[in-house]
Amino acid sequence: MDTVQKLVSGFSLDLGPLKEPLGFIRVLEWVFTIFAFATTGGYSGTSHFTVKCPAGTPEESSVEPVFGYPFRLPAHPYDIPTCNGTDVRTNYLQGDFSSSAEFFVCVGVFGFLYCTATLILYLGYQNVYRQTTRGPIVDLVLTAAFAFLWLVSSSAWGKGLTDVKWATNPEHLVESCQDVCQPGEFPSMGRLNASVIFGFLNMILWAGNCWFIYKETPFHKDPNPPATMEEGGPPEP
* pLDDT above 90 coverage of the chain, percent: 48
Q: Is the pTM of this model over 0.85?
A: no
Reported as a pLDDT band with limits 50, 70 and 90, residue 229 is very low
Residue type, 215: K
The pair phi, psi for residue 221, each rounded to 5°, is: -105, 135
* pLDDT above 70 coverage of the chain, percent: 84
Find the mean pLDDT for residues 63-88: 84
User: Mind giving me the DSSP string for 36-59?
Assistant: HHHHHTT-EEE--EEE-PPTTSPP
Say if domain 10-214 classifies as CATH 1.20.140: yes
C-alpha closest to that of 62 among 187, 184, 186 = 184
Find the mean pLDDT for residues 196-224: 85
Reported as a pLDDT band with limits 50, 70 and 90, residue 2 is very low
Q: pLDDT digit string (tens) for 150-182?
A: 999 999 999 999 999 999 999 888 887 767 788
3-state secondary structure 118-159: HHHHHHHCHHHHHHCCHHHHHHHHHHHHHHHHHHHHHHHHHH
Whether residue 115 contacts residue 25, with contact meaning beta carbons closer than 8 Å, is answered with no
Structural domain boundaries of the chain?
10-214
At residue 7, does pLDDT exceed 80?
Answer: no
C-alpha closest to that of 33 among 198, 225, 220, 189 = 198
Q: pLDDT digit string (tens) for 84-141?
A: 766 778 888 899 999 999 999 999 999 999 999 999 988 888 777 777 778 888 999 9
> What's the pLDDT at 36?
95
